[in-house]
Amino acid sequence: MNLQAEKIRLIEWLVQVQDVQVIKQIVELKNQKSVSDYEAQLKPMTIEELKSKLHASMEDVAAGRVDRLEDVMKEFK
C-alpha cells in the first residue's frame, strides 16, 4: 500500500462526506489515538521519585511558594 496515495484518497473521500455521525466518529477516533499516544509516553514514577517530589512540595508549602485555590481555579475557567 502506498501510504501517501491512501491518505489522499481518504482526504478526497472525507471532503465528500455529508453524514455528521461519520464525521463525529472520525473525530472520536482521532481523539482516542491522541490519548493513547500520550498515555504510551507516560512512565510510572519510582517510589524514590515520588518521595522526592513530595519532599519538594512540602518545602514549597513551608516556604510559602503556593497559589491560592481560587487563583488556580480561575485559570481553568
pLDDT along the chain (77 residues), means of 10: 90 94 92 84 91 95 92 87
**Which residue, chain included where needed, has cell 517510589?**
47
Look up residue 15 and give its three cell numbers. 471532503
**pTM of the full predicted structure?**
0.46
In whole angstroms, give the CA distance from residue 75 to residue 14: 36
In whole angstroms, give the CA distance from residue 27 to residue 19: 13
